[in-house]
């Protein structure tokens, strides 16, 4: 079947990417991003997952969201949260000059806690900010920071005061 052929071709590509070769060889490029063999190798057990892989995956999720039947998604770069916490709204205000976050169903915020990746998911339909951490650590402060960011974004871009009492935060 055609599916079997494409799956086998994909499987061969994955095996080749994990094989030997030049670390800086580009294995895939799209969305103005490049993933090298070295980046792919961060997906192996007990390796440190890197920014390039996270950002490429987020771009894939955004691309898929353009298809009918999927919620509209905006995914921030893996550098967004760190920049927001170090420089405040002014440091990231321009990051959405071509995007109306409030017209998106879901906003993804990958967060690197130096040795561990976590994810915040803002659902504009349900008015929730959820924080997912596989180590079970509480992330209410992260959710509050993102809710404050949404307030600033709404005020700056739409001239609308966000009613935070309508929003809920959850550490998952």
CA distance 14 to 24: 16
Residue 21's H or E segment, with its range, is none
Encode pLDDT of 60-105 as tens digits.
888 889 899 999 999 999 999 999 999 999 999 999 999 999 999 9
Q: Are residues 89 and 120 part of one domain?
A: yes
Q: Are residues 118 and 70 part of one domain?
A: yes
Identify whether the C-beta of residue 73 lies closer than 8 Å to the C-beta of residue 106. yes
Range of the domain at 18: 1-47
Q: Are residues 74 and 153 part of one domain?
A: yes
Identify whether the C-beta of residue 117 lies closer than 8 Å to the C-beta of residue 134. no
Total domains in the chain come to 2
Identify whether the C-beta of residue 55 lies closer than 8 Å to the C-beta of residue 77. yes
- Give me the residue label for tokens 């976050």: 101
* Confidence (pLDDT) at 64: 87
């Amino acid at each position: 079947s055609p599916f079997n052929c494409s799956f086998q071709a994909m499987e061969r590509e994955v095996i080749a990417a994990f094989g030997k070769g030049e670390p800086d060889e580009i294995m895939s490029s799209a969305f103005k991003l490049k993933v090298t063999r070295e980046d792919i190798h961060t997906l192996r057990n007990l390796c440190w997952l890197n920014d390039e892989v996270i950002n490429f995956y987020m771009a894939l999720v955004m691309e898929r969201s353009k298809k009918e039947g999927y919620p509209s998604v905006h995914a921030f770069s893996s550098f967004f949260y760190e920049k927001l916490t170090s420089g405040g709204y002014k440091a990231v205000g321009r990051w959405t000059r071509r995007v109306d976050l409030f017209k998106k169903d879901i906003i993804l915020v990958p967060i690197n806690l130096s040795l561990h990746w976590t994810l915040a998911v803002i659902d504009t339909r349900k008015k929730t900010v959820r924080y997912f951490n596989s180590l079970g650590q509480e992330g209410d402060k992260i959710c509050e920071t993102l809710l404050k960011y949404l307030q600033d974004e709404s005020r700056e871009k739409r001239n609308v005061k966000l009613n935070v009492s309508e929003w809920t935060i959850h550490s998952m």
